[in-house]
Structure 1
Amino acid sequence: MIQDIDSKRSHVPGKILLYFAAVMLVALLVYGWSMPPVDASGFRQTQTALSIDWIARGFPVLSYITPVIGAPWSIPFEFPLYQWLAAILANATGMGVDNSARLVSAVFHVGCVVMVYRVVLAIRADRALALCIAGAFAASPYALFWGRSVMIESTAVFFGLVFVWALARLRGAPLGYPRMLGLGLVAVLSAVLSALVKVTTFFGFAAFVALAFAWLALREHGWRPQWLARQWPLLAWGALSALAVVAVMTQWLTHADALKAQSPLGHEITSSALSAWNYGTLQQKLDPATWWGTVFKKRFSGAVGSNWVFLVFLVVGLCARPIRAAVLVLLVAYLAPVAVFTNLHIAHPYYQAATIVFATSIVGLVVWWSIQRAQASGKTTRPIWLVGFLCLLSLGTLGGSYFKRMKEAREPGQVAQIAAVVKAATPEDSVIVGFGQDWSSELPYLAGRRAVMVPDWAPTTALASMAASDAALGGLPLGALVECPNAIGSDPARSAHLQQIIARYSAGVSVQTVGQCQVWLHR
């Protein structure tokens, strides 16, 4: 009886974290229900929403269009599983794309919490441990905020966790061949889906599996033939998963790049063209400012809402002998994607969604270790105070940062004002030509129009092509020309092309000023 009471008490901290996270997730969904997806990284959220919108209108799924940098409009990056599900939900229920996308994202986020719980149980059958690690992930302010955004992140993370779970089960108790085959196929399929949805996210889970396997081999003398014979299902299905990911991703990237290369601006965002941008430079990787200024000061706070508090959890975890090795593996898995895709993690705060589960797992491990220590000393309330502190810290971060961003997103800014003017005064099948907003999807998404958003980095050949012909419009009528402050005319030739484009598309119509931008409407 006493043992049962102690067992139930050990579950309380993890349950507190989970209950708190459930309330906060609902609050975030309700509060953000009527706002556009521009509360953070609006560039990326609206790009995803724009693709969903056009899939929902009945356009192709695999060759889906994101009409933002000109005809023929298709510039696919990730495999559109998340977009397809959100479009189906929007069409089936009649709700807006914003809300269907948030709901799909939130459902996958909840699925991630469940899969974290199941992964831990597959590795070690300790419910208190599983509740602590799942609760730490669920209560993370970063995971909560991005878990309900209009983004593909939670979908990719979910399948990455399913992949880890399937391999963990393959390593567990002896299995019959049907069960082994089923788990192996789940591992392969989930690995492929995670990589297709977002390959940079899957990399983190592949790295974790490799690190965990190396740790097991080192601890259990994995060079012995008997050990290798016992672990052959794990080795075989892990290798098959890797081969399947490489084969399928090669085909998808070939397909996606061929579609992008059909337009002058699209050619600049193929996988080969973006390679240097994605990986960053060796100087970035070795620069202490990257790891101090970006990783520690900006990214370490994601797990609990404070970089210093997370650092304390990390130090405690590395000093606690029972969990030290696991914490070290999780820390390397957390930082490995940053070391590889350095520039992406510097430029985009949402990229940490791929790795935050490893950071929160460190927090969960330390909470569980504190429960063991508390039970041994008879001071069982200490873990309750600890998770209470984590909940307050998360609540403070949500209220002081994320809810503030959402409140600001409710107010119509300059782009939203331009979009309202364009949407009210132009035909639905018309095209916007825009300068000074990079190639952001915010304006075309909010206006519900195709667009040619010309970034400052547009090649001179693309500018010359637009100055000479209307090919970028794809045979559709011009609806609006929008010029905001920009640096496109960085030399006389580029400046001349820009002026020619503006002269052609502004001829015969009056101009109106919205904020710092000039807008010409072709009614």
Structure 2
Amino acid sequence: MQQAIVDSGHGGKNAALATLLAFRLHRVLLPRSPLLPRWAKRPFIPASAPRTEPPSMQLAMPSSLARPLVFVLAALVLALVAYDVYWLVIGLDQPILGSHAFRQTQTAISAYWLKQGGPLFAYETPVVGAPWSIPFEFPLYQWLVALLSLTGLSIEVSGRLIAFGFFLGCLWPMRMLCRQYKLPDTTFLFAAALFLASPIYTFWSRTLMIETTALFFAMVWLALFARALDRQSVLVGIATFVCGTGSVLAKSTTFPAFVVCAFCLFVARVWPLVTRRKWRHAIGLSLLAGIVTLGPLAVGSYWVHFSDIVKLRSPGGTLLTSSALTDWNFGAWDARFSAKLWVETIGNRVANDSFGKLAVVALILTLFALTQRRYVLPTLICLLGFLTPFLLFTNLHTTHNYYQVANVVFAIGACALGIQALFDRAWIAGIAVLVLVLASQISFFGQTFGKEVVEDFTTNEVYQIGQIIQQKTPDNSVIVVFGQDWSSAVPYEGKRRGVVLATWFPRTMFEALVQQPDALLGSLSLGGIVDCGTNGYDDVMDLVGPYLAGRSVLGEAGKCRLLSPVKP
């Protein structure tokens, strides 16, 4: 009977076709993986099908196309570099008054006063009163910006160029890691393309921020750490230590995720040595890993101690020490399990900022990578690196949309591995999905961040009051600012030192301003007072009201007024 069915013409052809289809679906949808049960790894073959050999047709890319496709992907990466350069150039000299102007101007004013000859280590961020120094991060980025600005470029242009340079520089350690772990060349090209097109990187790489500097040093540290595990070298060890130190000092919150990933690589390298009782080699690698990891953390700890000592020299600085900001940095314990973190922040904002509206495709690709034995470990490490900062610095990540510059690169790595896994099995599908995700990223940027890049911030009231300050106040004077939290924006745009009084500052700060102004002004004279509104000062209005009353108006911009330093 079975032979009759096989020889019966259409019945045999249909059965053979069913066998071929089942085998093809099995090859694509049920890959060999330790995560699947043994029965799921075998194709389903109908009982009525004839006994045939597995079809020779493959979905993998023909070898003749491998090299041309690599060239095409490399050209795509170069095109995306040009895309990022375009967005950099069209807003290169704009005032830094867009997203998180508070943080951008804080960095900019530090670089500006470094350029003016201020202290190199206890650098000035003159916004909360004399003696003006309230150092946070080590001023590596600020030094570079100040140095480049000596060529005649503005602080804005210099800062953007430095940040963008470090952003592009991240492609180097990305390539190093892919080669170190013998991933296909296309894996790096997939990751590079997603990295360059990601809205969060396209936007923040062109701002006056320290984020890409810290990311660059952290990525180089991780790449050198991985190399040091395989090829012990004094020079590699020293370079690893230096890069780790650079990352910790540039921005301490960037480094921990990379340490967690490095620990995973370390365990994967050392555990086989332990099981084979190669104690000497295992101990040597452990010492090396400890030095290049704990050493930078120790240097960073010393810097925090030094910066706290400097901050304690001024009344305003005491509010900004590391101990005073502990709750702000880490957040409440229960915040780590909140919908605000997992749904609003990661599932919505960060997903869109990373991959656009089709972020779910990136998630599916990541899950697919986890079904491929070759890519399981690197994908898991990427996921761990991505999630670690959210769990450590929860409040910072739920509050600020630029902190994810430090860890979205890991989500991009996981997505790239998923594309590579699909590409290995069905190369056309892999390329199609890459194009789909890139289109999603570019489209989302144009609808959101891109609109800010082309905005004219010279019409902003803070910029305009800054221009008035430069015209109406002496060069080396101090301005007092109300209604701007403790933002550096007005002092920076006015190119003056400032005493910017936030509504949450203690009453003693306002009493000092009224009764002992020299305690906040130091040896400098008062150049003017900027009043941008007194909402929120209810508890100290008995001090603020009389202080502002009776002063003549020297200039106005929007709701901000520049008032005379003395009353008539």
Verify: 1:439 aligned to 2:486, yes or no. yes
* 1:105-120 map, 5 Å: 105-120=163-178
Q: Deviation of residue 131 (structure 1)? A: 2.3
Whether contact under 8 Å (2:468, 2:555) holds in the other structure is no
Aligned position for 2:544: 498
Instruction: Note closer, same or farther for the CA distance 1:501–1:240 as it changes in structure 2 (3 Å cut).
Output: farther
Contact 1:12 1:384 in 2 (8 A): no
Decide whether aligned partners of structure 1 residues 276 and 400 sit closer, same or farther in structure 2, where only a CA change above 3 A counts.
same
Letter in 2 for 1:330: C
Does structure 2 retain, via aligned residues, the 8 Å contact 1:13–1:383? no
Does structure 1 residue 474 correspond to structure 2 residue 522? Answer: yes
**Contact kept in structure 2, 1:90 and 1:100, CA below 8 Å:** yes
8 Å contact kept, 1:204–1:336: yes
What is residue 306 of structure 2 aligned with on the other side? 255
Conserved 8 A contact 2:257-2:385: yes
Q: Which has the larger radius of gyration?
A: 2
CA distance in 2, matches of 1:164, 1:284: 29
Are positions 1:88 and 2:147 aligned together?
A: yes
Report the equivalent of 1:377: none
Q: Secondary structure at the match of 2:500?
A: strand
| Other-structure match for 1:186 | 239
2:155 maps to what in 1? 97
User: Which whole-Å CA distance do the structure 2 matches of 1:419 and 1:517 have between them?
Assistant: 10
Task: Confirm or deny: 8 A CA contact 2:144 2:162 kept in the other structure.
Answer: yes
**After alignment, is 229-238 or 266-275 more displaced?**
229-238
Aligned to 1:269, which of 311, 320, 326? 320
1:344-372 Cα shifts (integer Å, max 9, x gaps): 00111110011011011012111212221
Is the alpha carbon distance of 1:232 and 1:147 closer, same or farther for their aligned partners in structure 2, counting shifts above 3 Å? farther
State TM-score, norm by structure 1.
0.91
Task: Please give the per-residue CA displacement for 1:89-137, whole angstroms capped at 9, x wherever unaligned.
Answer: 110x211111111111111111111211112211225322222223322
What residue number does 2:51 align with? none
2:36 corresponding residue in structure 1:
none
Are 2:329 and 2:394, in contact at CA under 8 Å, matched by a contact in 1?
Answer: yes
Structure 1 residue 299: Cα displacement:
1.0
Which SS does the other structure have where 2:119 is aligned? coil
Aligned to 2:189: 131
> Counterparts of 1:66-81 in structure 2 under 5 Å?
66-81=125-140
Contact 2:479-2:526 within 8 A present in 1 as well: yes
Instruction: Evaluate the alpha carbon distance shift between residue 28 and residue 488 of structure 1 in structure 2; reply closer, same or farther with a 3 A threshold.
Output: same
Distance in structure 2 (CA, Å) of the matches to 1:143 and 1:285: 25
User: Which residue identity lines up with residue 141 of structure 1 in the other structure?
Assistant: P
Aligned to 2:179: 121
Residues 336-355 of structure 1: matches in 2 within 5 Å?
A: 336-355=388-407
Give CA-to-partner distance per residue, 1:411-466, whole Å, 9 cap, x none: 52121121122122111111111111111111111111111111111011212211
2:250 is equivalent to residue 197 of structure 1: yes
1:323 to 362, 375, 378: 375
> How far apart, CA to CA, are the structure 2 residues paired with 1:74 and 1:351?
24
Distance 2:278 2:339 in 1: 41
Distance 1:455 1:508 in 2: 21
Q: Distance in 2 between matches of 1:228 and 1:116?
A: 31
- CA 1:331 to 1:210, structure 2 compared with 1: closer, same or farther past 3 Å? same
Read off the aligned partner of 1:29 and give its amino acid letter. L
Question: Compared with structure 1, are the counterparts of its residues 250 and 214 closer, same or farther at alpha carbon in structure 2 (3 Å cutoff)?
Answer: same
CA distance, structure 2, for counterparts of residue 464 and residue 184 of structure 1 = 53
Q: What secondary structure sits across from 2:562 in the alignment?
A: strand
Which residue of structure 2 lines up, in the alignment, with residue 520 of structure 1?
A: 563
The 8 Å contact of residues 55 and 87 in structure 1, kept in 2 or not, is answered as yes
1:195 Cα deviation after fit: 0.2
1:105 to 1:227, Cα distance in 2 relative to 1, 3 A: farther
Distance 2:444 2:364 in 1: 18
Q: Per the alignment, in what secondary structure is the counterpart of residue 408 of structure 1?
A: coil
- For 2:192 and 2:328, the matched residues in 1 are separated by 34
Match for 1:303 among 346, 354, 357? 354
C-alpha distance after superposition, 1:240-266 (max 9, x if no partner): 123312321222112211111122111
Question: Which of 393-402 and 7-16 deviates more?
Answer: 7-16
Alpha carbons 2:531, 2:560 under 8 Å: kept: yes
Alignment correspondent of 2:532: 484
1:50 aligns with one of 92, 109, 131: 109
Counterpart-to-counterpart distance in 1, 2:197 and 2:441? 7
Matches within 5 A, 1:385-396: 385-396=432-443
Distance 1:393 1:20, change over 3 A: farther
Structure 2 partner of 1:369: 421
Could you say which residue in structure 1 is the equivalent of 2:329?
A: 278
Distance 2:178 2:283 in 1: 22
Q: What is the aligned-residue RMSD (CA, Å)? A: 2.2
Q: Percent identity?
A: 32
- Give the corresponding residue for 2:266: 213
CA distance in 2, matches of 1:513, 1:139: 41
Contact 2:386 2:407 in 1 (8 A): yes
Task: Check conservation: 2:187, 2:417, Cα contact below 8 A.
Answer: yes
Conserved? CA contact 1:142–1:305, under 8 Å = no
Query: CA–CA distance in 1 between the matches of 2:159 and 2:387?
Result: 29
How many angstroms apart in 1 are the aligned matches of 2:263 and 2:324? 29
1:357 and 2:404 equivalent? no
Q: Secondary structure at the match of 1:226?
A: coil
Number of corresponding residues:
504
Is 1:7 the equivalent of 2:66? yes
